[in-house]
Amino acid sequence: MVGVTSFADLPPEMIEKILEKIDCHSIRAAQTVCRQWRNIINRRRHRMNRQRVQEIYITDDQEAAVTLTITHLSPSFESISNVKIAEYKELFDCLWIYAPKRLSISATRNELRTALEGIPDWWFLSIQTLGIYESACDIDALSLVSKAPHCASLRIDPCFTVDSVTSLLDCMRQIHELKIRTKSKTITADDTTIDALIPLSIACPQGLQSFWVDSISTDFSLAKMFELFEKGHFSPRCSLLFEKVHGSESALRNWITTHAQQVLYASEQTYNFAYRDVEIGISVEQFVP
């Protein structure tokens, strides 16, 4: 009589392959079966089927050390769940099973910064939008952006580790959105920023949709702005918000009048026009010599 082979008799390599086929909702249960399975899953996390979710919002301003607010994907509606994590060192143990499209972070303590730095690069591969808000610690925004090669949308409050929008763009491979929300003079943008912005917009299939840097110190020339209009790749509608531009408003108005297919709206320092089959809205807070 031929003996029956049990799971325990299988070589570790075969058990690894079997566990990698388990659906994401059964991984947690599989970890509790035995120490061998738990060790294999923990060692091979990057190969396991992770649960795709719309967004994860990581915050440390609640009663727990860290709170994960998870927006789940659903054909008809979005459901939200919360995961409370008692200790910062447990963050990745709770986080790894999820593959979010959007990641938002609100950090107030350096312990969360340290926990974020310990997350391996492979976990960030699914992220398309990254938001870093209200950071009261030295969170390394440049490092986080560099870890997310498919991230095309950034929504960020000025933080201590970023002093230049150009350095932020240098960490990206494409750009769809950049929104800097809070007023700050510690981060700047200039013509080198537009030099970096143009190829990133071309690399993005959806094109540039939003570039909002009116809350920080900008130092753009009109000539470089015109180069962005002429060479950049835009979404069907694009909004550009600048704080300061070197040149005159009359020169901008004359360029738009000469080159635009249609001027849709014009008022003091704000213009909306069609150019290269794209609707571009631009606002400039001040013009300087």
Among candidates 175, 113, 108, which has minimal Cα distance to 144? 113
Percentage of the chain modeled with pLDDT above 90: 61
- Is 92 in contact with 105 (CB distance < 8 Å)? no
* Statement: residue 4 has pLDDT above 60: no
Task: Give the pLDDT of residue 75.
Answer: 67
Q: How many helices (H) and strands (E) does the chain have?
A: 10, 14
pLDDT band at 136 (very low <50, low <70, confident <90, very high): low
Write down the pLDDT at residue 184.
74
**Number of Cβ within a 10 Å radius of residue 5:** 8
Helices (H), 211-287: 222-231, 249-259
* pLDDT tens by residue, 13-70: 787 777 777 777 777 777 777 887 788 788 888 888 889 999 999 998 767 789 999 9
How large is the average pLDDT for residues 243-262?
Answer: 95
Give me the residue label for tokens 């300061």. 244
Residue 269 pLDDT exceeds 60: yes
d(CA 85, CA 101): 21
Cα separations in angstroms, 46 against 86, 99, 187, 222, 244: 24, 11, 35, 47, 45
Q: What is the dihedral of CA 233, 234, 239, 240, to 10 degrees?
A: 0
Q: With 50 as the cut, is the pLDDT of residue 1 above it?
A: no
3-state secondary structure of 94: helix
Q: What average pLDDT does the segment 110-135 reach?
A: 91
> Looking at residue 108, what is its pLDDT?
83
pLDDT, mean of residues 260-264: 95
